[in-house]
Amino acid sequence: MSYGLLNLGTQALTSNRTALTVVGQNISNVNTDGYSRQRAEFASRENIGGVEVYDISRIADEFLNRQIRTDTSSYSSADIFQTFANELDNLLASEATSISSAMDDYFSALQASVDDPTSLPNRELFLAEAEALTLRFNDLDANLERQGESINGRLDSAVAQINAIARNIAELNDKLRIASAAGSEVNELLDKRDAQLDALAEYVNFTTVETGNTGEVDVFIGKGEPLVVGRDSNELVTTLDPVDSSKLNVSLRVGNNLSEISGEISGGEIGGLLDYRNTILDTARDQLGVIALAFADTMNQQHMKGMDLDDELGGLLFTDINSATAVSNRVLSDSNNLVDVNARMVIEDTSALKASEYKLVFNSSNSFTLVRESDGTRWDSASLVASGAASFGTDGNLTLSVDGFRLTMDPATPSFGAGDQFILRPARTAAADIAVVLSEPRDLALAAPVVIEADSDNQGSGKASVSVTSRALLDAAVDQQALVPPLSIEFSENSAGELVYRVYDVTDPQNPVEIDNDGDAATPIPAYPFVAGEALELPQDYGYEIVIRNTPAAGDRFTVDYNVGGVSDNRNALAMSDLQFDRTTVDNASYQDRYGQMIEKVGTQTAVAQINAQASKSVLDANLQARSSLSGVNLDEEAAKLIQFQQAYTASAQLIKASQTIFDALIAAV
């Protein structure tokens, strides 16, 4: 009996001492991040009686840990996304960097020139504001480009952190394997493993698979790409985008194989950075570029319809949107079999441009698919050819016209092949490219080059105006600052009493010659019926149109000629000023309306990102609190257990003492 009592006391003493050690370990690690409290598991020994500590369990909920990693990944992604979105929103809306405020200054200066077109100081001010506006475009685009560079830097840093964490997990897997084989406790190793997994979740979303009962985990990112397998870790690397060298992509190196996985990564800092770059940053640059293209093109077209202080037709005010460099830089080659392709993209209609990148993928030498990335719209070559929007030449060249641009591609030998891809960017760099090319104030074409004057003897109420419609045709009608021919519009009544007009060539004012619209001298020249407020029908298109309002009288005459000496004329300046509120310039909106829509869209995306970040943080905090309640060390609880096991330890010692007393009494009785 004494032996049994001694054995029971010894077992109890050992077990409670182990429990006290576990409590001490918990208390000492109360402030250790990632530590999961432990608990001594007691069990009664069968047959021989007594107690033993059969396990020291780690109090952790694997499901909750997985959820926290998912929440960490979501929050980290949303947080970095909203950080960059906030910066972009501030850049677009700030008075110091806004395009809209610079445009206000530009058009205010233009209005001063409208008020006094002969003033050289006003013209100089206008050119200065034009320069300031183009610099604002350039600077804003440069800021967006710097965001791209910042993203590249963060990707480099995140990839380095992921690789370090992956190596740590692989090392812990090895330690877990060795410790498990030796029968050692692995709870602290499991805590370290989970801490590394939590850290990894900040950078990328992943899945884990436990191997066996050792606590080892394999880690997979993307669509099952192996980052850690047992004791081995693979390496993430940043690689230059094959199409755009200003971008870094993320690739995984497995052995000697390198595979690009940027499109497969989600969550974490890397997922947030890539998502922001693809959905906001690139789109913002495209939207800004479309505005820059529309502004430069419409201003150039209108300016070239005017006349400067030296009676010369206007030239370019801003850079040519279809310069040789611009048309070639809009087409980028990606993963092609072709050695060389002469590809050119000409912007034909800026009002129809979309703020998007396009992907052109060839299925064969004469078959392709075009995808507009902004909304996923797809065109196949058959439908485009059938509609006349695309055609293949006999030498294999391709001509394609959609969304306001015309693409021409001349492949070198061999011709296009299945899998050839091209990235089309009509507007990506336009805000960086825009600049003022006109430098002399006298060269500002603020006057209209064609003037129409009513004869002093006119009796009707007709009010005539003339406006240039085509610079190319006007060039053909102007020779050394003179219209060829100058015109006279003469009104009369026909036999039915209707008001009609005839058009005369008045190169020799003393001998007007009626212009024959069909060139057939054998047939009489018919008079044109007059409709007030509508453009007159001229014998041919001279590059300008004439509109007469109200009602001329029979015998009234209007003369059309070159506006020599018209330095006080501000008609072209007014036409340029009117473009500020023209709602057809940029995809059914004005310049500033489209910029406002851009700010509104970015602001909405930023607000959504902020809400997502706040919501993700709340969910993460709630789950962290739940894990802390479950796995964290509670000092009050541990203090109570300390007293409990101390008392049990003391009582166990008393069992041993009682056993010794009984044994001594038996010896004395013999």
Instruction: Tell me, yes or no, whether 464 and 538 share the same domain.
Output: yes
pLDDT digits (tens, 9 = 90+) for 598-649: 999 999 999 999 999 999 999 999 998 888 888 778 888 888 888 888 888 8
1: how many CB neighbours lie within 10 A of its CB? 9
What is d(CA 591, CA 584) in angstroms, rounded to the nearest whole number? 9
What is d(CA 14, CA 20) in angstroms, rounded to the nearest whole number? 10
359 phi/psi in degrees, rounded to 5: -120, 125
Tokens of 390: 């695309």
233 phi/psi in degrees, rounded to 5: -125, 140
324 phi/psi in degrees, rounded to 5: -60, -40
CA neighbor of 481 nearest in space, from 316, 315, 312, 314: 312
Determine the average pLDDT of the residues in 145-171. Answer: 96
What is d(CA 440, CA 54) in angstroms, rounded to the nearest whole number? 94
Instruction: Tell me, yes or no, whether 417 and 501 share the same domain.
Output: no
H or E element in which residue 18 lies: helix 2-28
Q: What is the pLDDT of residue 333?
A: 83
Q: What is the pLDDT of residue 621?
A: 92
What Cα–Cα distance (Å) separates residue 181 from each residue in 58, 213, 258?
A: 18, 10, 35
Report pTM: 0.88
Question: What residues make up the domain containing 388?
Answer: 331-424
What is d(CA 294, CA 590) in angstroms, rounded to the nearest whole number? 9
Q: Per-residue confidence at 329, pLDDT binned at 50, 70, 90?
A: very high
Instruction: Tell me, yes or no, whether 400 and 460 share the same domain.
Output: no
Q: What is the DSSP string of 222-234?
A: TTTEEEEETTEE-
pLDDT reading at 653 higher than 60: yes
Asked whether the beta carbons of 81 and 609 are under 8 A apart, the reply is: yes
Provide the percentage of residues in the chain whose pLDDT is more than 70: 98
CA neighbor of 143 nearest in space, from 82, 83, 90: 90
Q: Is residue 317 part of a domain?
A: no
CA neighbor of 176 nearest in space, from 165, 164, 188, 166: 188
Determine the average pLDDT of the residues in 5-34. Answer: 83
Determine the average pLDDT of the residues in 115-124. Answer: 96
Query: How far apart are the two ends of the chain, measured CA to CA in Å?
Result: 17
161 vs 23: which has the higher pLDDT: 161
Asked whether the beta carbons of 547 and 512 are under 8 A apart, the reply is: no
Query: Three-state DSSP class for 357?
Result: coil
Instruction: Tell me, yes or no, whether 419 and 357 share the same domain.
Output: yes
pLDDT digits (tens, 9 = 90+) for 229-267: 999 999 999 999 988 889 999 999 998 899 999 999 999
247 phi/psi in degrees, rounded to 5: -110, 145
Determine the average pLDDT of the residues in 35-43. Answer: 82
Contacts 24+ apart (CB under 8 A), 376-382: none
Chosen domain end from 381, 408, 424: 424
Tokens of 469: 């419609």
Query: Three-state DSSP class for 549?
Result: strand
DSSP, res 581:
G
Cis peptide before 526 (omega within 30 of 0): no
Instruction: Tell me, yes or no, whether 387 and 464 share the same domain.
Output: no
Instruction: Tell me, yes or no, whether 549 and 466 share the same domain.
Output: yes
pLDDT digits (tens, 9 = 90+) for 393-422: 888 889 999 999 999 998 876 678 888 889
- Mean pLDDT, the chain, whole residue set: 91
Chosen domain end from 531, 562, 593: 562
Q: Is residue 92 part of a domain?
A: no
Chosen domain end from 562, 595, 617: 562
pLDDT reading at 354 higher than 60: yes
What is d(CA 278, CA 661) in angstroms, rounded to the nearest whole number? 83
Q: Is residue 326 part of a domain?
A: no
Q: What is the pLDDT of residue 1?
A: 45
Q: What is the pLDDT of residue 338?
A: 61
Determine the average pLDDT of the residues in 69-82. Answer: 95
Q: What is the DSSP string of 231-269?
A: TEE-EEEEEE-SS-TT-EEEEEEETTEEEE-GGG--SHH
pLDDT digits (tens, 9 = 90+) for 496-528: 899 999 999 999 999 999 998 877 777 889 899
Q: What is the pLDDT of residue 413?
A: 67
Q: Is residue 140 part of a domain?
A: no
Tokens of 57: 């369990």
Instruction: Tell me, yes or no, whether 402 and 461 share the same domain.
Output: no
Tokens of 558: 């209007």
Q: Is residue 53 part of a domain?
A: yes
Determine the average pLDDT of the residues in 547-563. Answer: 96
pLDDT reading at 2 higher than 50: no
Q: What is the pLDDT of residue 514?
A: 93
Could you identify the residue written with the tokens 């009050």? Answer: 636
pLDDT reading at 578 higher than 50: yes
What is d(CA 598, CA 618) in angstroms, rounded to the nearest whole number? 30
Please, which residues bridge with residue 558 across strands? 454, 489
Q: Is residue 311 part of a domain?
A: no
Q: Per-residue confidence at 130, pLDDT binned at 50, 70, 90?
A: very high
The half-sphere exposure of 415 on its side-chain side, counting CA atoms within 13 A, is 13
Please, which residues bridge with residue 559 across strands? 453, 488
pLDDT reading at 3 higher than 60: no
Determine the average pLDDT of the residues in 146-171. Answer: 96
Instruction: Tell me, yes or no, whether 547 and 483 share the same domain.
Output: yes
CA neighbor of 574 nearest in space, from 461, 468, 442, 435: 468
Angle (CA) 478-479-481 rounded to 5° is: 80
Instruction: Tell me, yes or no, whether 417 and 455 share the same domain.
Output: no
H or E element in which residue 124 lies: helix 120-182
Determine the average pLDDT of the residues in 161-181. Answer: 93
The sign of the dihedral angle between the CA atoms of 189, 191, 195, 200 is positive
What is d(CA 87, CA 140) in angstroms, rounded to the nearest whole number? 12
pLDDT digits (tens, 9 = 90+) for 25-35: 878 888 888 88
Q: Is residue 9 part of a domain?
A: yes
Provide the percentage of residues in the chain whose pLDDT is more than 90: 70
CA neighbor of 208 nearest in space, from 236, 231, 229: 229
Instruction: Tell me, yes or no, whether 546 and 456 share the same domain.
Output: yes
Instruction: Tell me, yes or no, whether 479 and 414 share the same domain.
Output: no
Instruction: Tell me, yes or no, whether 456 and 518 share the same domain.
Output: yes
Asked whether the beta carbons of 367 and 384 are under 8 A apart, the reply is: no
What is d(CA 489, CA 265) in angstroms, rounded to the nearest whole number? 71
Q: Is residue 508 part of a domain?
A: yes
269 vs 55: which has the higher pLDDT: 269
What is d(CA 483, CA 329) in angstroms, rounded to the nearest whole number? 40
Structural domains counted in the chain: 3
The half-sphere exposure of 571 on its side-chain side, counting CA atoms within 13 A, is 16
pLDDT reading at 335 higher than 70: no
